Structure 1
Amino acid sequence: MKKMKLHKFLANMGIDSRRKCEKLIVQGRVKVNGTQITKLGMEINPDVDRILVDNKVVEQNVQRVHVLLNKPSGYLCTYHDPFGRPTIYDLLQGIETKLNYAGRLDLDSEGLILLTNDGALIHQITHPRQKIKKTYQVKVRGAPGANDLKLLQEGIPLSTNFTTSPCQVKIIKQNNYYSLLEISIHEGKKRQIRRMFSFLGYQVLELKRTKIGILNMDGLPCGKYRYLTEREVRKIKNFRK
């Protein structure tokens, strides 16, 4: 195997996201051949070097597990909540492998979450550069008009240094009290869709992620999970924008 950046290797092994793996290194929790590493940028040879995280050897020959969960509202995307609230991992009964999620949903949102110990797959799904489309159904109070849809499609300035990329949006249903829309984005900033509609003055009443790339909710009840097929994993990994 060719040399690669230490944080990328850790992410590929399913330790955590690339950004969090960088934090592990800076915090001094990673060792290479017995030497504690605290600076980013180090390259390693996975076939030769011995890597430890929190004094545990990072095993390379680990079976990859890929799970699609239909998250209900009221569950947190975290391993442990100090207040004892339910987490998505409470729904993964029968799975002993530690899995990381590829794109979180907030407490009040529901829908699809992909969980895996395959860091490369997580990167493929979550990095905006890969252009993996995520589709949501959004129920808002009020009736967004044509100008609102145009602004959503062209990009919403959520901060002084970040404007959302162009997206696809359409109205599914609308009445005097609420509107149901479908919106597809390639990004995944924290509470991005809620913030986009808040910028336009609309309160999000319900938010559901219905698709992640080729994956959809067909036949997957709320609160349940299923394993991805080899064909699905292959199609996601081979996706070309």
Structure 2
Amino acid sequence: MKVKSLKVQKETRWRRPGRYQVRINKYIGASGICSRRRADQLIDEGKVKVNGQVLMEKGYDVRPGDEVQVDGTLIRPETRKLYYLVNKPVGYVTTVSDPQGRPTVMELVPDVEERLFPVGRLDVNTSGLLIITNDGDLANRLTHPSHEMGKTYVARVTGMLTMKEAKILERGVRLEEFTTSPAQVRLIRHDRNSTLVEITIHEGKNRQVRRMMEAVGHPVTDLERTAIGTINSRLPVGGCRKLNPGEIDYLKGIK
């Protein structure tokens, strides 16, 4: 079956009311492999097959009987959704596996049958809170800029960060490829050669807090994520716990 025939099948199904259908990225997200956004990327990379044929149509709707493979693995939507909060130590990578053999955040959660993945990313030298789940819809919500889920960090930076520089961070900083959204900044204390500062951002660009601090002349020496939205925790470093129902509803935007 050619990719072209997949498109024809999709158009035909729109004329069959009552038949089950779900967009391919949502189907993949529900399998617990990744978020819907990452699913779209996998389709672009040619790593998704439907009924044995490489899929190039991101708008394709899965119907009963379709076999969907991602990177050679046949997938099915998960029926049980799991939600964990971990406190990532420095030195752990935020991936499911690592070709270099470094420890990953997946080693911090209990062994379960469901395939879990981390939501967003903390770089290897950053510690703090991270959500691990198999709920692709939630992952998409938490990583999409339109939802503006704040993430709070405590950073130790070199030198004396001034109120004027904090105001620059609050207004938004021009980085190489974009200008950051307004942030909330609170100076905690000045030490002899450094400043401890709390900053809340609403994006998740690569190394964003570190790059923002470098932009105002104060490189980060230590960085910890202390809250995701209003969720914070006294978890020990390396600790893990299940999110409670209220926290899950909050993350999903359920009042």
TM score, norm. by length of structure 1: 0.89
Where 2:241 maps in the other structure, the secondary structure is strand
Q: Does 1:216 align with 2:208?
A: no
Give the Cα–Cα distance (whole angstroms) in 2 for the partners of residues 193 and 2 of structure 1.
Answer: 44
Q: Does 1:180 align with 2:212?
A: no
Residue 239 of structure 1 deviates from its aligned partner by 5.3
Could you report, residue by residue, the CA deviation over 1:107-152 in whole angstroms, capped at 9, with x for unpaired residues?
1110000000000111111111101111010111111112211110
Where 1:124 maps in the other structure, the secondary structure is helix
Counterparts in 2 of 1:41 and 1:89: CA distance versus 1, 3 Å: closer
Counterparts in 2 of 1:202 and 1:118: CA distance versus 1, 3 Å: same
Percent of residue pairs bearing the same amino acid type: 38
Query: Does structure 2 conserve the Cα–Cα contact (< 8 Å) formed by 1:70 and 1:222?
Result: yes
Query: Does structure 2 conserve the Cα–Cα contact (< 8 Å) formed by 1:26 and 1:37?
Result: no
Residue 55 of structure 1 deviates from its aligned partner by 4.6
Give the Cα–Cα distance (whole angstroms) in 2 for the partners of residues 97 and 2 of structure 1.
Answer: 24
Query: Does structure 2 conserve the Cα–Cα contact (< 8 Å) formed by 1:28 and 1:36?
Result: no
Q: Does 1:9 align with 2:9?
A: no
Give the Cα–Cα distance (whole angstroms) in 1 for the partners of residues 20 and 253 of structure 2.
Answer: 21
Q: Structure 2, unaligned stretches of length 5 or more?
A: 1-18
Q: Structure 1, unaligned stretches of length 5 or more?
A: none
Of 137-146 and 187-196, more deviation after overlay is shown by 137-146
Q: 2:49 aligns with which of 22, 27, 31?
A: 31
Counterpart residue number, 2:3: none
Where 2:129 maps in the other structure, the secondary structure is strand
Where 1:94 maps in the other structure, the secondary structure is coil
Where 1:148 maps in the other structure, the secondary structure is helix
Could you report, residue by residue, the CA deviation over 1:37-71 in whole angstroms, capped at 9, with x for unpaired residues?
33133331455644332454432242111110001
Give the Cα–Cα distance (whole angstroms) in 2 for the partners of residues 82 and 49 of structure 1.
Answer: 32
Counterpart residue number, 2:205: 189
Give the Cα–Cα distance (whole angstroms) in 2 for the partners of residues 48 and 131 of structure 1.
Answer: 38
Give the Cα–Cα distance (whole angstroms) in 2 for the partners of residues 190 and 54 of structure 1.
Answer: 25
Give the Cα–Cα distance (whole angstroms) in 1 for the partners of residues 181 and 20 of structure 2.
Answer: 35
Alignment of 1:42-81 (within 5 A): 42-46=59-63, 49-81=66-98
From the CA coordinates, give the structure whose radius of gyration is larger: 2
Where 2:49 maps in the other structure, the secondary structure is strand
Where 1:157 maps in the other structure, the secondary structure is coil
Counterpart residue number, 1:225: 240
Where 1:20 maps in the other structure, the secondary structure is helix
Give the Cα–Cα distance (whole angstroms) in 1 for the partners of residues 62 and 100 of structure 2.
Answer: 41
Give the Cα–Cα distance (whole angstroms) in 2 for the partners of residues 12 and 169 of structure 1.
Answer: 36
Name the count of aligned residue pairs: 237
